Amino acid sequence: MKYKALLFLVFFIAGCASTTLKNQSGIDRKQLLLMPQSMVVNMANDGYRSALREAAKKNKLNVDSTHVNRVKRISNKLIANATYFKPESSQWPWEINVEDNDEVNAYCMPGGKIMVYSGLIRKLNATDDELAAVIGHEISHALREHGRERMSTAAVQQLGLLGFAAYISNSSNQNRANATMQAASLGATLFFVLPNSRTQEREADAIGLELAARSGFNPFAAVSLWGKMKKQDTKKPPEFLSSHPSDDNRIRELTDLAFKLKPIYESNRSR
């Protein structure tokens, strides 16, 4: 019964909660958050510091002040509206940097550490609205604490398997049969309760575009950006293409989202 107790502990004591407030996009999925937020943010800070150090060593950090100022202006508008989804984000020590790198990519680490690669701006000739669509998507991963959720998920899977192995190794035959059935139900539980990365990408698209619209950026830019992305033949797919949904599906979903968010954009565009 050890591993049942373990599951109980994980699901009911560690607790499931949504990391963001209710929003127009309707994203309020409950998430498994086993790791303390502070631990995940500390790890992210270490990673960000070392990325900055590496870039600086190669003289690739914040080289083009036009790019840097532009990325900061857009990001700061998005950050100001992030409190709509997660009020505590107003207390985050946000950072925004641009690395001179030909890859078409950007990321935002847990706790609000933003990096935009110059390749995203240069290769796609990205408009402000298009940059806001990408940066909004990346910021939304941090607001939804997707990194913390993924780490929690991995820990549960390991703990669950360990508990199961310990249980079955000192069981009678009857118990082994029961254990097999329980393993099947554990598998089903993990499958249905824990999200796949596609779920997280869909959430980052929805919250990211709403964040952009609330900050006065045109949500239809996500669709035009996607068209530009498809024409690129990058060896490594950028983060915002990471889960490889079919192109047509993603364009359709983004277009639907943009129409839904149009009124929000129009009431905020003059700001």
Region from 18-26, 72-80, 194-202, 252-260 binding Zn ion, contact rule CB under 5 A: 194-202
The mark string for 212-241 relative to Zn ion (x by CB under 5 A, - otherwise) is ----------------------------x-
Both tokens of 131, joined, read: 């940059």
Stretch that binds Zn ion, among 119-127, 144-152, 163-171, 199-207 (CB under 5 A): 199-207
d(CA 227, CA 241): 12
Q: Helix, strand, coil shares of the chain as percentages rounded to 5?
A: 65, 5, 25
Answer yes or no: are the C-beta atoms of 91 and 37 closer than 8 Å.
no
206 sits near Zn ion (criterion: CB under 5 A): no
16: part of which helix (H) or strand (E)? strand 16-17
Nearer to Zn ion, 199 or 255 (CB): 199
Q: Which of residues 236-265 bind Zn ion (CB under 5 A)?
A: 240
Question: Which of the following is catalytic: 99, 130, 138, 210?
Answer: 138
Give the nearer residue to Zn ion in terms of CB position, either 14 or 251: 251
Contact between 105 and 76 under an 8 Å Cβ cutoff? The reply is no
138 among known catalytic residues: yes
> Please, are residues 179 and 168 in contact by the beta-carbon 8 Å criterion?
yes
Q: Does 204 bind Zn ion (CB under 5 A)?
A: yes
Q: Which residues are catalytic?
A: 138
Q: Return residues touching Zn ion (CB under 5 A).
A: 201, 204, 240
